[in-house]
Amino acid sequence: MNRERSYIFLLLASVAGIAWVVANVAAPHAMGSVIVCPFRAATGLPCPACGSTHAVIKVFSLNWQGALYDNPVGFILAAGLIILPVWLLYDVVKKKSTFYDRYIQAEAFVCRRWVALPLVALVTANWIWNIYKHTL
């Protein structure tokens, strides 16, 4: 994906993410019954990211222990929801590609075996913990 398409896609994704979090804060009972995860809808089991909406809301309300219990992924998503739109808009306004360059570098870094294997182990451990919490 080239720079322009990536930026449009990520800006739209950021807006959708913020809208989703705001909708969950505004109407928690109505949104709480909505299952958006295809994996959970198909299997009944949570995916590694299930529970991250609640975790993001708890991160923003400074309940970090609750966020960690709901899903540690929430911290990454909360940081992304703040940093990503600002960084993308900075690049668009300044006509730079600092985000895109860093993205390409980070992608190459993550693909290295000694980085990828611990990350896969972490995601798997988080997934097992998520399934365990689901069965409680």
Partner 1 sequence: MEQQKIDMYLVTNAKYFESHLIPHISESLARMDDSRYIVLQSMGLKDPTTILIISILCGSLGIDRFMIGDTGMGIGKLLTCGGFGIWTIVDWFLIQGRTRELNFQKVQRVMM
Q: Minimum distance from CB of 20 to partner 1 (Å)?
A: 7
Residue 115 three-state SS: helix
Residue with Cβ nearer partner 1 (86 or 119)? 119
- Give me the least distance between CB of 77 and partner 1, in Å please: 6
- Please check whether residue 99 is in contact with residue 91, taking contact to mean a CB–CB distance below 8 angstroms: yes
Question: What backbone torsions phi and psi does residue 27 show, to the nearest 5 degrees?
Answer: -135, 70
Q: Which is nearer to partner 1, 20 or 60 (CB)?
A: 20
Nearest C-alpha neighbor of 80 from the set 1, 18, 37 = 18
Instruction: Count Cα neighbours of 62 within 13 Å in the Cβ-side half-sphere.
Output: 0
Q: In the block, which residue shows the tokens 């997934």?
A: 127
Q: Residue 5 CB, nearest distance to partner 1 (Å)?
A: 11
How far apart are alpha carbons 107 and 69 in whole angstroms?
Answer: 28
Which parts of this chain interact with partner 1 (CB under 8 A)?
1, 13, 16-17, 20, 36-41, 47-50, 52, 73, 76-77, 103, 106-107, 110-111, 123
Least distance CB 86 / partner 1 (angstroms): 18
| CA atoms of 64 and 75, how far apart (whole Å) | 9
Nearer of residues 28 and 93 to partner 1, judged by Cβ: 28
Q: Which is nearer to partner 1, 47 or 68 (CB)?
A: 47
